[in-house]
Each structure stands twice: as structure tokens, then as C-alpha cells.
Amino acid sequence: MEKVLGFIGRYQMIVSGDKIVAGISGGADSVCLLFVLLELREKMGIEIVAVHVNHGLRGEYAKRDEVFVQELCRKHDVKCVVYHENVESISKKRKQSVEEAGRVVRREAFERTLLACGGTKIAMAHHQNDNAETLLMNLSRGTGLKGLGGIQPVAGNIIRPLLCLNRREIERFVEEIGCGFCQDETNEEDDYTRNRLRHQVIPVLEEQVNAQAVRHMNEAMEQIRGLQDYMEMQTEQAYQDCAAKQKDGGICIYEAGYRKLHRVLQGLLIRRCLTRAAGAERDITMAHVEAVAGLFEKQTGRSRDLPYSVKAVRNYDGVVLKKKTDVQKKGFSPIQLRVPGITRVPELNLTICCSILEKSVDFSAKQAPQKTYTKWFDYDIIKGDLIIRPRQGRDSIVIDKDGRSQKIKSYFINEKIPSEERDCVPLIADEKQIIWILGYRMSSACQITVQTHRVLEIKVTEEKSDVREDYGFSTRKRS
């Protein structure tokens, strides 16, 4: 008992006045947990609410466990909340294994009770053998530094007071206090991965390698958790310095900052960004991290498909991670502009106002508006109707007064516009030429001069935000 109380104090798991929701299955570990909490109830004035989940899997054995827990709680004046769930049915609906569905159902029951009773913390009965099994599972399946740390003693409002004890110590304690406990016969079966580790792997380690294998694994995990806390701070700082969330929901890892990081921190940063882009961490392995890292050595436009429908794309700035549903796959339909008049472009959420200004004063370039989305053009030079459209194969734009032109494709490359965004950059064109790459530059051939008689003013607005932000355009200075 003193060992556990010291462990609780070390991690400041419980304070006076806490209301603890405890998961009590009836097994030796949960019975031990209940008696630890009863000791603290006497010393610190905490409240205890026991939660028992009947998974509907073991028939009369499950009913036996339920009755045992209810009687034990009644004997010690502890409120007991019992949930009846059909875990097999739930696992099919959620497309989870029975083992995983049971774990989730238990967690949901604990959280529901915590909310209903105004509890402060959830106490779970994980011990050192559970932690050793978790470490071996993580190592076998592939993991990062976090997985090597095993089960956390404190994680948010969840506490695990028994992580300082192994299974033998717990069973010995329960025997010494003269309290029985329930044996879950499914724990003796090897149908689940964890049970196979428990019965076939750990005994071999203890018998043929080192009798203290479980303790040594837990000591190593404790050191790794300390290292993990430090690296967590370093990784978050690297994220702030070297990555940023984009308007389309993707996350860009900028090459300039990434290259300055230590190799280990590079991997942790990639995992952090991938997890945030995916919205989940499970099933993200070192192979996925290495696939993203490899893109930094590839040319622009190369990509990798990753779990949770995430796509990693190499661009000019670095590597962008985003959901495939966020990737722009096509452009938009061409629309003829009303001149003069107002034209709405629903696909781009734009409104384009065209006005013809007659020469009542001496127009000059100095008088032209300097706003990115309001431009003046020499209307006398424009031929035929104006349309707004995406790029086409042979498009080019005049870039100087001598009439030299540049292909739109080359311009986009020079401006470092990501390849997946190029078909969505709007172009305004007449029958002969591109007069404006919207948000970037206008044609030098259509600029007003002292010979200009009529000026075409084109003003583009977007209902909710600046057009550049909405379409991911950068904020580099435009002409």
C-alpha cells in the first residue's frame, strides 16, 4: 500500500476532495485499485464511484462478475453504476475488433459517469504487466517515441495508480487483505494479441532471459516518458517555427526550417504534422514518416498517398500534407464578362464589375489604381468579348513594353504556384490574348498610355475574404 500511495503522491494523481470514477471489473487488479481508493477515502476525504461494464460476451460468468462487484461496493459503502452493453454488435457496427470495441465502450461508460456525477478523475487499474504488453505490441506493430513510453500514469483526467506494481504484487496484496476476486476465463485464451503476449512471450522473457524483465521494461519506459516530455516541447517549437496550417486545411512543412533540424526532430515534426492533417494517430508508422521525409529529396510535384486519405505533395516551399478531398482537382467553367456590367462567377465565389471610363481627363499610369484586384486596361486595344477562364495549353502573357511574352506555364513555375493550384488561377482574356492573371499580373500590352482614349476598369471582389486567401495565393507583391 505504501508503494502505491508514494506513486500517487509522486505524480499528484489525487488531491483532497476529488471525486474518483473507478473502473471495477472484479478482477484482482481492479479490486486492488478499489482498496487503494478506500484507503485514500479515509485519509483524504475523496469520494468514489465504481463503474462496472457487462460486455454481454460471457453469459453467466459476466453476471457473476457483476454481482460480485455490486456486493463488494455495497459492503464498503461505494456507489456502483453498472452498464450492460452488447459489445459484439457494437464491434460490427463500428468495424472494430471485439477487443477494441470493448475498450472504447468501457472508456465511454467512465466518461459518461464522470459527467453525470460531477467527478474529477477516472481511475483505471493498469499495472506493469499491462504496460509491458503494450510496449511489446507497439514495438511489433511499429511506433514512435510516444509508443515506446507505454501507458501514461496520468493522461488528462485519467489516472493509473497501480502502474508501480506488477501482476504478482497485486495478487499477493489481494490475498493478504482476504478479499476474493473474479477470474476472467477469456484471459486464459490466446484469441487476442494481448493474451498471446501475456501467455507466450512474457513468460519466456522472465524464465529464460531475466526474471525482472517486466520491471526493467517499465523502468525503461519511465525514462523514455521523461525524454518524451522534453521532445514534445522541442517538437511543438519546431512545428511553430517550420510548419503552418494553410487556408485549404493542409499543413506545409517548410524546407528552409526543416533542413536545420536534427534528423530525429525532423521525424517527430513529420509525425506531428501527419497526425494533425489526418486527425488521428493510430496506424501512422515510421514507414509513413520516411515516405514524407523522402519527398524533400524529390522534385516539385511528386507525391505520396498516406493513411486517412492524406496526400503528401512536394512543392516549392517544402511538403504539404492534406486530405485528398482538399486537393484541387479541376479548374472552373469559362464565363463571358458583361462589359460594362456585373458578372458573378459562382464556382469561384467572385463578382466582377467592368466599367468603361471615357477620357474626360488625361489618363496616365500614375493615376491607375494600385489595388491588387482593381485594374485599368486600354479598352481600345482589347479585341472582342472578355471571358474569365482557367489556363489553356498555349497561353502566354506580354511581360514588357517591347511585346515580349512568356508562357503562362513558365510564369506559374517562376512564381512558384503549386501545380495542383494552377488550374484554379483565374485568367481574364479577350479573343487574342491574356490581359490579366488575376491576383498576379496584367498584360503589359494593355496598359494605359497617353494615347489611351477609353479605359476599362475591372474590379474583382469576393464575398467573404480576400481572393488570394480563399484560393491559397501567396502574398508576394504583384504587378
What does the pLDDT look like over 453-462, one tens digit per residue?
899 999 998 7
Nearest of 48, 39, 44 to residue 17 by alpha carbon: 44
Cα separation of the two ends of the chain: 75
pLDDT grade, residue 471 (50/70/90)?
Answer: very low
pLDDT band at 331 (very low <50, low <70, confident <90, very high): low
From residue 328, give the alpha-carbon distance in Å to each of 57, 172, 274, 335, 420.
Answer: 47, 62, 19, 20, 6
pLDDT of the residue at 325:
56
Q: How do strand 318-323 and strand 310-314 relate by DSSP bridges?
A: antiparallel
Cα–Cα distance for residue pair 339/355, rounded to 1 Å = 7
Task: Tell me how crowded residue 209 is: count the other CB atoms within 10 A of its CB.
Answer: 10
Q: What pLDDT was estimated at residue 479?
A: 42
pLDDT recorded at residue 463: 59
Q: What is the mean pLDDT of residues 272-289?
A: 89
Question: What pLDDT is stored for residue 183 in this prediction?
Answer: 81
Of the pLDDT bands very low, low, confident and very high (cuts 50, 70, 90), residue 301 is confident
- Mean pLDDT, the chain, whole residue set: 87
Bridge partners, residue 405, by sequence = 398
pLDDT for residue 475 is more than 50: no
Higher pLDDT, 96 or 126: 126
Return the pLDDT at 439: 83
Fold agreement between 2-211 and 246-326? no
Looking at residue 323, its pLDDT comes to 84
Q: Are 271 and 282 in contact (CB under 8 A)?
A: no
Beta strands in 47-167 (DSSP E): 47-54, 79-84, 121-123, 154-155, 158-159
pLDDT of residue 327: 42
On the question of pLDDT at 316 being above 90, the answer is no
Q: What is the mean pLDDT of residues 34-52?
A: 95
Q: Which of 119-128, 147-156, 294-303 has the lowest mean pLDDT?
A: 294-303
pTM value is 0.60
pLDDT at 273 over 70: yes
Q: Which tens digits make up the pLDDT trace of 62-121?
A: 899 999 999 999 999 999 999 998 888 998 988 888 888 899 999 999 999 999 999 999
pLDDT, tens digit (0-9, with 9 covering 90-100), for 180-196? 888 876 655 555 678 88
Residue identified by cell 517555427 is 241
Q: Return the C-alpha cell found at 395.
A: 497561353
Q: What are the structural domain ranges in the chain?
A: 2-211, 246-326, 335-470
Please name which of 87, 84, 75 lies closest in space to residue 52, comparing C-alpha atoms: 84
Per-residue pLDDT at 126: 96
Q: What integer is the mean pLDDT of 2-13?
A: 93
Q: Which CATH class is domain 335-470?
A: alpha beta
The fold of 2-211 is: Rossmann fold (3.40.50)
d(CA 2, CA 464): 62
**pLDDT at residue number 14:** 95
| pLDDT bracket for residue 449 (50, 70, 90) | confident
Q: Which fold has domain 246-326?
A: 3.30.465
For the chain, helix (H) and strand (E) counts, in that order, are 16, 22
